[in-house]
Amino acid sequence: MSDVTGGEEAAAGAPEAGRVVLVPYADLAARTATALRAAGVDDASTEATTRALMHASLLGVDSHGVRLATHYCKVLQSGRVNGRPTLTISRTAPATAMIDADNGLGPVGSYRAIDLACEIAAETGIAAVGVVRSSHYGAAGAYALAGAERGLFTFSTTNADSLVGVFDGASAFHGTNPLAFGAPMPEGSRPWLLDMATSAIPLNRVYLYRTLNRPLPENVAADAYGTPVIDPHAVEMLLPLGAAFGFKGAGLAGVASILAGAFTGGAMDHEMLSMTRGQDWSTPRNLGHFFLAIDPDRFAGRVGYEAAMQSYLAALRAVPQSGTGRVMAPGDREWEEADKRRREGIPVDPETAKFLNLA
């Protein structure tokens, strides 16, 4: 392990400024698993949750990485989340299923849902699996990637408590409601991976800019009256993706709400207990998740699909650049960051390092 100065890039997703600790992947995974077990988590939940958190930390999505272990352990000890759930699977039709996650940690029901969706899609070509009575599942892309690595086009979404305003609205209504998609590639190539929130920025970016005393970009956050602000200390809600066309981001947030909430029987955004605000840390939040898996073999066929994807991505990456950067496909930046972090270590913020006994 080593210490490095935590600038904005190193601290992306981490609200604490100062020095971060660089930790090898295996060591960080082991410390995270140890913390979860100490909070009373069973082996299956520990394995799934560590896998999800390490996915985010490795790919540079630090807001949804191991720093969440502190929060997860808090809600486990308070009784909001069940560390030893019994998952109940109901096959509702040939291509659909539901999982009752027994108020467990989000990743355990979610990875089981992806496995089940892949198993069903092998029979039917397409599968949809909902999860109910769950909790925060981390980065949506972790599950989209898991399905893509098994050769299926995969979609993952969940909803969240009200943090994001609607277009022309004066109060928060939707959650940050991510949409993630993973597309398989031929052997030897990493999947195409898109993981995006439907808010203009993540809430964690506001925390980071407060620490740095830096103004936010315009039209990404608002005060309590819905008026856009650039002062991070004045932020009471986030704005939907799209700025002047924020109705697009708000509409996409609604897609997540419908699939993860209305389809599964989970809480809708405006009804959901806050993840981090408020005084009630014992009542389960009843989050829902939704997953879709599609087998390319059942459409144009694997050979045609893979040839089209290779041609498409080669052409995309060859588009002339307009500025100083280069044209990248979804997932390219994350794979480069993962390679770097495997070589150099994963940056961990000071508070999380202390919690995991790293510093």
pLDDT tens-digit map of 90-147: 999 999 999 999 999 999 999 999 999 999 999 999 999 999 999 999 999 999 999 9
pLDDT for position 317: 96
pLDDT for position 146: 98
pLDDT for position 2: 54
pLDDT for position 18: 55
Given a cut of 60, is residue 3 above it in pLDDT? no
Q: How confident is the model at residue 1 (pLDDT cuts 50, 70, 90)?
A: low
**Residue 319 lies in domain:** 302-330
Instruction: Mark whether 15 and 142 lie in a shared domain.
Output: no
Given a cut of 60, is residue 9 above it in pLDDT? no
Q: Give strand pairing partners of 221.
A: 238
What is the residue-averaged pLDDT of the chain?
93
Given a cut of 50, is residue 13 above it in pLDDT? no
List pLDDT tens digits, range 222-261.
999 889 999 999 999 999 999 889 999 999 999 999 999 9
Residue 263 located in a structural domain: yes
CATH of the domain at 204: 3.30.60.50
Q: How confident is the model at residue 203 (pLDDT cuts 50, 70, 90)?
A: confident
List pLDDT tens digits, range 299-308.
999 999 999 9
Instruction: Mark whether 98 and 143 lie in a shared domain.
Output: yes
Residue 116 located in a structural domain: yes
Residue 156 located in a structural domain: yes
b vs e for 310-333, b when ≥16 Cβ sit within 10 Å of the residue's Cβ?
A: eeebeeeeeeeeeeeeeeebbbbe
List pLDDT tens digits, range 253-287.
999 999 999 999 999 999 999 998 888 999 999 99
List strand residue ranges (DSSP E) for 94-191, in order. Answer: 96-100, 126-134, 153-158, 164-165, 172-174, 179-183
Q: What is the mean pLDDT of residues 52-57?
A: 97
Whole-angstrom distance, CA of residue 102 vs CA of residue 250: 30
Residue 83 located in a structural domain: no
